[in-house]
Chain A
Amino acid sequence: MKKKLIIFTLMAIVSFNLFAIDVNTIVKNYDNNSVFETSIVESLIVIKDSLGTSKQNIKSWSTKDGKTLIEITDGPDQGQKVLRLNSSIFLYYPEANQIIRLQGSALKDSFMGSDFSYEDLSGDDSIINNYNATLMSEDNSSYIVKLQAKSRKEPYQTQILTIEKITFVCTKATLMSASGKELRKMESSDIRKVDDKYVAFKVEMVDLLKRQGSTTLIIESLDLQTPLDDYLFSTDNLSW
């Protein structure tokens, strides 16, 4: 009886290890799902605070290597554009017909008064390239993964992500500073399959450094097929 129990226990351990997934695979699957060769997204940003709600429509174009162009297509800041190239951000104000270059800490600034930073909406989203990951826990539906930045340049030095087991979409994230202070919380929902990727069409971000309020980004259309020309990400095109 004792021998049977030992064999059963050994089999259980072996089979558990056969089906268990290591954290690098989780992160790789997450990256494969969330990093697109190219994307063209039209979305609505709803900003809520103590004094009311404001809305802006944006269109963004991005590539796998982090180049991003965002244009505000409707709302009070209509016509303003944001271009992200490497670690620089260029802002275009149509009324002044002028481009302003921001760098460094400015990447952490709020995008158009929302709870998203410029960094949140642009740049290289890859985890494998920028973070070391550890698996904290898991349940039937999700993995809880802790990310530690490989370099000081990352705006969030620590992240705790809840990643869905089936879709490998991040449904919850807590984004923290080097000291462990919580900076932003993100929740995503309305997960849909587009081509071979699962994408959350609704993302709510809360900037925890602000007293109250939240920002919801709702994707209205998503195109992952159209190739994008490099000229799209030039400062000449930005001022067009």
Chain B
Amino acid sequence: MKKIFSLCFILLIMGSAFAEPSIQGDFSLNGNLFIDNSLDTNVSSNALINLYLSSKSNNVKYTIKNATTIASTTDVTNDIEQAYIQFRIPYKENYLIFTMGKTPLDIGSDGLINSGTPFYINYSSFPSIIQTNPWIASMKVKLLQLPDFKSINMELILKLPVEDTDSKAGTRLTFDVNNKYFGTLEASFLSDLTQSILSGGINGTLFFDYGIYAKTDLQNVKNFEASLFLLKIISDYSFKFEALYNNSSKSLNLLPSLTMNINTKVSSAFILSTTYINKSFTLMPMLSINLNIVQGLDAKVIYTYSKTIKHRLSASISHKF
């Protein structure tokens, strides 16, 4: 942990040499009420402070995002979600872009579950929905610039063995098609010799905005995952459907959701998480209502039901600063 803070500090010092930082964040108070079948109740609460520090100049930028959760006076956890520096140097009318640190790479679709990222492969029946960002060092180069904003790019990626994770090296190729039906085609390969993950996918628009991704472990090709992402926005309604099939656990996860903007201040969402494994379905419906009280101040109420936790009512109030 100390090493990570030191690294963040070094990134901050390096970044500070180039530009003034901007600090943003939010503070939220969260409460949970659990009610089981015998109507026994259990209450928990915590406070969450997100700090987002970033800065950019023409050719250098850095970001540090930290989340602190305070559940009690003795239970304080700290998680550095992002800590990376990027710089770019001119190269053949474009730029070489270098990235170092803990960063979310825009691999895969904008989904909660997707098989785009080649950093790991799931063997469990339920996907790890909240993925930890990897520590990487990478270099991105535009190989070919074509007319109509089409281009072919290559990224060399080294996954660093930080926070007890393994190291991998590989490459990622993307073809930005950017036409009426296709957005980006991509293929990635990362290996540490014991595990080599090949992944690929495509996104675009065909009535729905879509993303289709798959990946496999080349040392054991039966371990593969495939995911589908669909999004359609019609006026104040947004429909999203996500699906993930994992062959090693023979499980299928479906995540349809409908979000509705009731007016500029109130929105609601309904999500029906469905897991199919061993010929049985597990359903977990979730209904949330979000109220924007004033600019930067939001309140949210979420109701969730599942076989294991039964009824859960969560309420939170958060303020951006």
Taking Cβ atoms with an 8 Å cutoff, the residues of A that contact B are 47, 49-55, 76, 78-79, 85-88, 94-106, 108-109, 113, 209-211, 213, 231, 233-236, 239-240
The answer to whether B263 touches A76, judged by C-beta atoms less than 8 angstroms apart, is no
* A108–B142 alpha-carbon span in the complex (Å): 32
Nearest chain B CB to A178's CB is how many angstroms away?
15
Q: Is B294 at the interface (CB under 8 A from chain A)?
A: yes
- Among B10-18, B87-95, B252-260, B307-315, the stretch in contact with A: B87-95
The answer to whether B294 touches A52, judged by C-beta atoms less than 8 angstroms apart, is yes
Q: Is B78 at the interface (CB under 8 A from chain A)?
A: no
- Residues in chain A near residue B110, CB distance under 8 A: 98, 100
The answer to whether A98 touches B61, judged by C-beta atoms less than 8 angstroms apart, is no
- Among B176-184, B191-199, B243-251, B276-284, the stretch in contact with A: B176-184
Q: Is B320 at the interface (CB under 8 A from chain A)?
A: yes
B151 (CB) vs chain A CBs: closest residue: A234
Are A213 and B52 CB-contacts (below 8 A) given A85-B178, A236-B97?
A: no
The answer to whether A98 touches B106, judged by C-beta atoms less than 8 angstroms apart, is yes
B174 (CB) vs chain A CBs: closest residue: A235
The one of B88, B106, B235, B264 in contact with A240, judged by C-beta atoms closer than 8 angstroms, is: B88
The answer to whether B63 touches A94, judged by C-beta atoms less than 8 angstroms apart, is yes
- Residues in chain A near residue B216, CB distance under 8 A: none
The answer to whether A85 touches B264, judged by C-beta atoms less than 8 angstroms apart, is no
* A240–B232 alpha-carbon span in the complex (Å): 27
Nearest chain B CB to A181's CB is how many angstroms away?
13
* A234–B205 alpha-carbon span in the complex (Å): 19
The answer to whether B209 touches A76, judged by C-beta atoms less than 8 angstroms apart, is no
Q: Is the interface of B mostly helix, strand, loop or mixed?
A: strand
* A213–B295 alpha-carbon span in the complex (Å): 15
A115 (CB) vs chain B CBs: closest residue: B264
Nearest chain A CB to B94's CB is how many angstroms away?
7
* A240–B19 alpha-carbon span in the complex (Å): 14
- Residues in chain B near residue A239, CB distance under 8 A: 106
* A101–B182 alpha-carbon span in the complex (Å): 10
B153 (CB) vs chain A CBs: closest residue: A236
Are A97 and B104 CB-contacts (below 8 A) given A76-B295, A86-B148?
A: yes
The answer to whether B265 touches A101, judged by C-beta atoms less than 8 angstroms apart, is no
- Residues in chain A near residue B22, CB distance under 8 A: 78-79
Candidate in B63, B103, B106, B204 with the most chain A CB atoms within 10 angstroms: B106
- Residues in chain A near residue B180, CB distance under 8 A: 87, 103
* A231–B149 alpha-carbon span in the complex (Å): 10
The answer to whether A78 touches B24, judged by C-beta atoms less than 8 angstroms apart, is yes
The answer to whether A109 touches B264, judged by C-beta atoms less than 8 angstroms apart, is no
- Residues in chain B near residue A105, CB distance under 8 A: 232-234
B110 (CB) vs chain A CBs: closest residue: A100
Are A97 and B178 CB-contacts (below 8 A) given A51-B294, A213-B264?
A: no
- Residues in chain A near residue B24, CB distance under 8 A: 78-79
* A213–B293 alpha-carbon span in the complex (Å): 16
Which 8 interchain pairs have the tightest Cβ spacing? A54-B295, A103-B205, A98-B106, A101-B183, A49-B264, A100-B110, A97-B104, A106-B233
